[in-house]
């Protein structure tokens, strides 16, 4: 395989699984003019009663033109409570299919059950996002082909631009009608929006809605529209919505996490962004949620209202919305059941598709309108490049989410992270994997210091008398090394197990096999 | 030589940022084996192994099996646990394994601010390593109630190492160690190990008589002499019983080292046989007695902890009450409580402005050679002046702007 050096100095392949790819040239450097989007086959329909309902998953699998090597997709709105990915793969395995390309928007610990199917070759590789044990399996080289990791916006682009062709999209829905209109806010398995599957329903050869709550036509709201759906399958249960709240989506009591969140909020105040009309996104994770709490307090004190919050809805944002310090929530997913309720009941809490939210190859996206983006990281280097996917030992343990899209779009992108976890320092000379180039990262906030990217002289100027512990990034790295010691370098295998795709489809970095 | 060496000991625990050290005796000639299990093995396995093996070599231990079960512990923790294990096992360890102690941060200061005193369990390295980041006026590294009896021995090594570590994990906070009561088996051993490490202040729990303080002072004096500690370590007697309350004044006067009397409501309510309530009526009289005793002895009084970390309104109320009774600070159990307490103890703008007016009035009167000073219709006497001075001093210490604004 031919390797080329990209703009970050990383050696990346010029093809992935036989598909030619370009090296990363810069966050907004690609040229797309004149190219056209991919398109699904043209369907047709006749007047008369429409009934796409099939009473079992097997029934629909009998009707679909399944084949080895096909690509099937899923959303992750039920997060760790999802039943469908495991259910479908198990049935396909029983039917003897192999080399399936799995294209989920994310995987969770509940999907650890897929590992035997990866090992036996039923699944050839993952295109999209993975974490936990599936990521670990990928790291240890258990996938037949090279996995591709994409951000939320990058996945939409890949489908739309024809880089990722989905044969069958399976779309779990907590409510659906016989025509295929579906949503995720009604029914016992309500989990919020179905926005992750929007692009799948538009571009896949076949779209299958799977529901445990068939409602009379019309199913309103229709997050997924019947005109894009081939079949509606009824099952006993699509998942357990109580499980959408998992480790990373709970409010923290950790004093250190609270301190980091408070520093981040104070930073936002010092640069003058706690103001009327503020827009912001702070994802899941204890620090991000706590940041929201501090921000809400500051806004209340100042008597100003935020225009909109973007990204995962959660109980803190819902409270801000209901108390009037926030006008709208535009979200692609819910991090807890309070957010699900609010999305269902509050007209100012709206679902946005991932294309509207994050897609770079679009005529605008919400992420590009953000004032403030607050994001987490596993590693940051002296050039402000950020890693959110792998740990310092090379293991692929986390999904990308909307990180690169938010970082690219926010006026001020703030990374919040402890300066070391257990003994492992966060700021390093070089990150193990680049998830997002440093040119898009403005500030790093840790409990032991705040580092501002030198290219943001305006922020440095605004905060120089703030009393916040602002210091150069190399100084903070050295201070932390004095506490932890300098970690040994980890030797990785040569084999590339996954590539990290930038929002535009170029290759940002590779993930190499971890030696066992 | 190995006849008095135990067969097997452990020290520490495999919690986050901690390490469990297992030592097993080996017969002479069997050599040293070190096995490392670690959550950060990929990065620090070699480092940990060389840290442990060099210490074993330093001590000329030739035959031992050491299993290290590490969960991201920093060196000062690993060395504390290793030392505790070897001492328990019976090896003569005469010098701290951490090497030359660092005393750069030793700074006993009688008159510093003590609004917030944050308790940190001495046996929890994960909480200790960030304790200095929160701006608490004082940090209490606890050897007493938060440490189980079977952990007392190991904990001393951790607390000693944190005090003498070159990395300053405790920030600019006052470094207080709460020892075990001097009358129990652990108290004297605590002093023996902690005093040479130079804490700024010792918090002496369960003080019931002046004798309790005097007993500690005698030991501390002797240790200071032996270890050439030139600045006297300060005391905070903690009163937690009815008997202690009755003897509060003599306790406060027992040593010149005492900077404040502290009150502990949890043990006190148990002692007098009542429930501890949210509004704390049952301790009101005791708290007042402690304030009076402290003030009569010329020292400060510090109130008990507020133990519901979720209830910030309750904490504010309780702190306002403490302030109104004459306490200068509160005990805390979570860093999230610091900000609220500091806000309560900060002089208000009105207080600062009034104090400025008083000082101005004095200057004016002096300039005009007047004996009796009045501000508006009120006569300004010595206590008013004293209070004004204190307000301005406090504001200055807290970094609050006190510049005289237009006084009319």
CATH code (residue B320): 3.20.20.60
| pLDDT of amino acid B407 | 41
| B296 and B380 housed in the same domain | no
Q: φ, ψ for residue B203 (rounded to 5)?
A: -95, 120
| B194 and B311 housed in the same domain | yes
Instruction: Quote the tokens at residue B269.
Output: 């309510």
Nearest to A255 among B42, B72, B335 (CB): B335
Greatest alpha-carbon pair distance for chain B in Å reads 92
Nearest CA in chain B to A418: B130
Q: Is B188 helix (H, G, I), strand (E, B) or coil?
A: helix
| pLDDT tens digits along B179-205 | 999 989 999 999 999 999 999 999 999
> Which residue out of A139, A252, A255 would a mutagenesis test of the B interface target, given it has the greatest number of B Cβ atoms within 10 Å?
A255
Q: Where are the domains of chain A?
A: 51-244, 247-493
Q: A276-279: list long-range contacts, CB under 8 Å, 24+ apart.
A: A276/A304, A276/A305, A277/A304, A277/A305, A277/A306, A277/A307, A278/A304, A278/A306, A278/A307, A278/A371, A278/A372, A279/A306, A279/A307, A279/A308, A279/A309, A279/A310, A279/A369, A279/A370, A279/A371, A279/A372
Residue A21 near residue A174, CB atoms below 8 Å: no
Q: Using CB atoms within 10 Å of the CB of residue B82, give its burial: 0 to 12 exposed, 13 to 18 middle, 19+ buried.
A: buried
Nearest CA in chain B to A259: B134
Tell me how far apart the alpha carbons of residues A451 and A474 are, in angstroms, rounded to a whole number: 9
Q: How many domains does chain B have?
A: 3
DSSP string, A133-185: HHHHHHHTT-SSS-EEE--HHHHHHHHHHTSS--SEEEEEESEE-TT--EESS
| B201 and B302 housed in the same domain | yes
Q: Is A333 helix (H, G, I), strand (E, B) or coil?
A: coil
Chain A neighbors of B46, CB-CB under 8 A:
488
Nearest CA in chain A to B132: A448
Q: Give ipTM to 2 decimals.
A: 0.88
Contact between A487 and B167 using a beta-carbon 8 Å cutoff: no
| B182 and B302 housed in the same domain | yes
| B181 and B308 housed in the same domain | yes
Residue with tokens 């051993």: B189
pLDDT tens for chain B, 408 residues: list them.
456 889 999 999 999 999 999 999 998 899 999 999 999 999 999 999 999 999 999 999 999 999 999 999 999 999 999 999 999 999 999 899 999 999 999 999 998 999 999 999 999 999 999 999 999 999 999 999 999 999 999 999 999 999 999 999 999 999 999 999 998 999 999 999 999 999 999 999 999 999 999 999 999 999 999 999 999 999 999 999 999 999 999 999 999 999 999 999 999 999 999 998 888 889 999 999 999 999 999 999 999 999 888 899 999 999 999 999 999 999 999 999 999 999 999 888 888 888 888 888 888 888 887 777 778 777 888 888 888 888 888 888 887 776 654 443
| B126 and B45 housed in the same domain | no
Evaluate whether residue B211 is within a structural domain: yes
| pLDDT tens digits along A112-129 | 999 999 999 999 999 999
| B303 and B258 housed in the same domain | yes
Chain A neighbors of B73, CB-CB under 8 A:
423
CATH of the domain at B67: 3.30.230
Contact between B133 and A259 using a beta-carbon 8 Å cutoff: yes
DSSP B149: G
Q: Which of B106, B101, B105 is nearest to B233 (CA)?
A: B106
Residues in chain B: 408
Evaluate whether residue B404 is within a structural domain: no
Chain B neighbors of A484, CB-CB under 8 A:
74
Percent of residues, chain A, with pLDDT higher than 70: 99
Evaluate whether residue B151 is within a structural domain: yes
Q: Which residues of B touch A (CB under 8 A)?
A: 16-17, 39-40, 42-47, 71-75, 127, 129-130, 133-134, 167, 309, 334-336
Contact between B44 and A485 using a beta-carbon 8 Å cutoff: yes
* CA atoms in the 13 A half-sphere facing the CB of B403: 3
Evaluate whether residue B54 is within a structural domain: yes
| B240 and B308 housed in the same domain | yes
Q: Which of B310, B308, B257 is nearest to B278 (CA)?
A: B308
| B55 and B147 housed in the same domain | no
Chain A neighbors of B130, CB-CB under 8 A:
255-256, 259, 447
Chain A neighbors of B167, CB-CB under 8 A:
482-483
Residue B167 near residue B98, CB atoms below 8 Å: no
Superfamily of segment(s) A247-493: Glutaconate Coenzyme A-transferase (3.40.1080.10)
| pLDDT tens digits along A151-189 | 999 999 999 999 999 999 999 999 999 999 999 999 999
| pLDDT tens digits along A428-447 | 999 999 999 999 999 999 99
Angle at B243 between CA B237 and CA B248, to 5 degrees: 45
Instruction: Quote the tokens at residue A27.
Output: 């966050």
Q: Which of A44, A95, A43 is nearest to A70 (CA)?
A: A95
Tell me how far apart the alpha carbons of residues A282 and A257 are, in angstroms, rounded to a whole number: 14
Give me the residues paired with residue B340 across strands.
none
CA distances from A429 to A117, A384, A478, A489 (A): 38, 10, 10, 11
Q: Which of B314, B130, B304, B228 is nearest to A418 (CA)?
A: B130
Q: How would CATH label the architecture of A51-244?
A: 3-Layer(aba) Sandwich (3.40)
> Which residue out of B133, B139, B334, B343 would a mutagenesis test of the A interface target, given it has the greatest number of A Cβ atoms within 10 Å?
B133
| B235 and B313 housed in the same domain | yes
**Residues of chain A where predicted confidence (pLDDT) is lower than 70:** 246-250
Instruction: Quote the tokens at residue B168.
Output: 């300053």
> Which residue out of A262, A397, A481, A484 would a mutagenesis test of the B interface target, given it has the greatest number of B Cβ atoms within 10 Å?
A484
* CA atoms in the 13 A half-sphere facing the CB of A459: 24
Nearest CA in chain B to A514: B42
Q: Is B82 helix (H, G, I), strand (E, B) or coil?
A: helix
Closest-CA distance, B44 to chain A, in angstroms, reads 6
Closest-CA distance, B400 to chain A, in angstroms, reads 14
Chain B neighbors of A487, CB-CB under 8 A:
40, 42-44
DSSP B180: P
Strand A443-446 with A449-452, pairing: antiparallel
| B124 and B73 housed in the same domain | no
What is the domain range of residue B371? 349-397
| pLDDT tens digits along B234-284 | 999 999 999 999 999 999 999 999 999 999 999 999 999 999 888 888 999
Task: Count chain A–chain B contacts defined by CB atoms under 8 A.
Answer: 60
| B157 and B247 housed in the same domain | yes
Chain B neighbors of A483, CB-CB under 8 A:
74, 129, 167
Evaluate whether residue B271 is within a structural domain: yes
Q: What is the pTM of this model?
A: 0.92
> Which residue out of B121, B126, B130, B343 would a mutagenesis test of the A interface target, given it has the greatest number of A Cβ atoms within 10 Å?
B130
Sign of CA dihedral A346, A351, A357, A362: negative
Contact between B134 and A448 using a beta-carbon 8 Å cutoff: no
Instruction: Quote the tokens at residue B210.
Output: 């002046």
Nearest to B336 among A255, A482, A490 (CB): A255
Q: Is A199 helix (H, G, I), strand (E, B) or coil?
A: helix
Nearest CA in chain A to B126: A422
């Amino acid at each position: 395989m031919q390797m080329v050096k990209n703009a970050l100095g990383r050696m990346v392949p010029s093809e992935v699984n036989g598909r030619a790819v370009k090296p990363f040239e810069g966050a907004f450097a690609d040229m797309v003019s004149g190219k056209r989007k991919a398109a699904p086959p043209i369907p047709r329909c006749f007047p008369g009663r429409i009934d796409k309902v099939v009473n079992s998953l097997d029934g629909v699998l009998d009707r679909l033109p399944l084949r080895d090597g096909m690509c099937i997709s899923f959303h992750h709105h039920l997060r760790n409570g999802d039943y469908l990915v495991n259910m479908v793969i198990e049935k396909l395995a029983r039917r003897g299919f192999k080399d399936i390309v799995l294209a989920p928007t994310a995987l969770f610990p509940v999907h650890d059950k897929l590992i035997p199917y990866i090992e036996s070759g039923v699944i050839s590789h993952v295109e999209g996002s993975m974490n936990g044990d599936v990521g670990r399996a990928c790291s240890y080289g258990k996938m037949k082909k090279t996995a591709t990791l994409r951000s939320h916006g990058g996945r939409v682009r890949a489908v739309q631009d024809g880089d990722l062709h989905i044969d069958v999209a399976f779309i779990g829905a907590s409510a659906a009608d016989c025509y295929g209109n579906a949503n995720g806010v009604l029914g016992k398995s309500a989990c919020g929006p179905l926005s992750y599957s929007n692009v799948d329903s538009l571009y896949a050869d076949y779209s299958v809605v799977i529901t445990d709550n068939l409602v009379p036509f019309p199913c309103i709201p229709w997050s997924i529209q019947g005109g894009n759906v081939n079949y509606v399958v009824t099952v006993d249960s699509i998942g357990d919505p109580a499980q959408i709240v998992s480790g990373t989506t709970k409010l923290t009591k950790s004093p250190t996490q609270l301190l980091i969140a408070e520093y981040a909020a104070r930073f936002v105040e010092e640069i003058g962004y706690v103001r009327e009309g503020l827009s912001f996104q702070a994802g899941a994770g204890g620090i991000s949620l706590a940041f929201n709490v501090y921000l809400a307090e500051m806004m209340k004190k100042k008597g100003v209202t935020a225009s909109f919050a973007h990204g995962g809805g959660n109980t803190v944002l819902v409270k801000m919305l209901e108390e009037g310090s926030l006008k709208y929530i535009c979200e692609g997913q819910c991090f807890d059941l309070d957010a699900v309720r609010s999305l269902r009941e509050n007209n100012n809490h709206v679902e946005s598709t991932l294309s509207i939210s994050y897609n770079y190859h679009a005529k605008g996206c919400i992420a590009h309108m953000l004032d403030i983006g607050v994001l987490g990281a596993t590693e940051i280097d002296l050039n402000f490049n950020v890693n959110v996917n792998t740990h310092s030992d090379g293991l692929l343990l986390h999904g990308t989410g909307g990180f690169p899209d938010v970082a690219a779009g926010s006026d001020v992108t703030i990374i919040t992270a402890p300066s070391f976890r257990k003994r492992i320092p966060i700021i390093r000379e070089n990150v193990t994997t680049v998830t997002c180039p440093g040119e898009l990262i403005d500030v790093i906030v840790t409990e032991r210091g705040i580092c501002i990217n030198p290219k943001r002289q305006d922020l440095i100027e605004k905060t120089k008398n703030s009393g916040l512990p602002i210091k150069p990034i190399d100084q903070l790295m050295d201070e932390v090394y004095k506490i932890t010691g300098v970690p040994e370098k980890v030797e990785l295998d040569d084999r590339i197990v996954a590539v990290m795709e930038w929002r535009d489809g170029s290759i940002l970095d590779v993930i190499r096999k971890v030696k066992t | 030589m190995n006849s008095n060496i135990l067969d097997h000991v452990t020290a520490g625990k495999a919690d986050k940022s901690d390490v469990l050290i297992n030592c097993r005796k080996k017969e002479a000639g069997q050599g040293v084996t070190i096995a490392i299990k670690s959550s950060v093995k990929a990065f620090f396995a070699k480092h940990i192994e060389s840290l442990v093996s060099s210490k074993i070599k330093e001590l000329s231990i030739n035959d031992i099996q050491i299993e290290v079960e590490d969960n991201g512990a920093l060196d000062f923790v690993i060395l504390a646990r290793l030392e505790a294990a070897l001492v328990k096992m019976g090896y003569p360890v005469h010098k701290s394994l951490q090497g030359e102690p660092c005393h750069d941060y030793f700074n006993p200061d009688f008159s510093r601010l003590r609004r917030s005193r944050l308790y940190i369990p001495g046996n929890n390295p994960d909480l200790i390593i960030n304790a200095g980041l929160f701006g608490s006026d004082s940090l209490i590294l606890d050897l007493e109630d938060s440490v189980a009896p079977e952990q007392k021995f190991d904990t001393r090594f951790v607390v000693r190492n944190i005090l003498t570590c070159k990395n300053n994990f405790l920030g600019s906070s006052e470094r207080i160690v709460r020892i075990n009561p001097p009358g129990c088996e652990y108290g004297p051993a605590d002093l023996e190990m902690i005093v040479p490490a130079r804490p700024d202040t010792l918090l002496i729990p369960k003080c019931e008589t002046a004798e309790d303080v005097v007993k500690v002072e005698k030991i501390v004096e002797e240790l200071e002499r032996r270890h050439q500690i030139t600045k006297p370590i300060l005391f905070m007697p903690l009163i937690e019983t009815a008997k202690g309350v009755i003897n509060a004044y003599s306790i406060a006067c027992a040593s010149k080292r005492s900077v404040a009397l502290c009150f502990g409501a949890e043990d006190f309510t148990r002692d007098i046989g009542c429930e501890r309530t949210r509004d704390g009526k049952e301790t009101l009289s005791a708290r007042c007695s402690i304030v009076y005793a402290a003030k009569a002895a010329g020292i400060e009084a510090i109130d008990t902890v507020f133990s519901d970390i979720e209830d910030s309104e309750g904490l504010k109320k309780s702190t306002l009450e403490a302030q109104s009774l004459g306490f200068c600070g509160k005990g805390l159990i979570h860093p999230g409580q610091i900000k609220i307490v500091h806000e309560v103890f900060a002089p208000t703008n009105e207080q600062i402005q009034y104090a400025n007016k008083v000082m101005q009035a004095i200057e004016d009167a002096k300039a005009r050679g007047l004996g009796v000073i009045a501000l508006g219709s009120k006569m300004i006497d010595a206590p008013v002046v004293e209070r004004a001075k204190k307000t301005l001093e406090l504001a200055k210490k807290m970094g609050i702007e006190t510049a005289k604004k237009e006084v009319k």
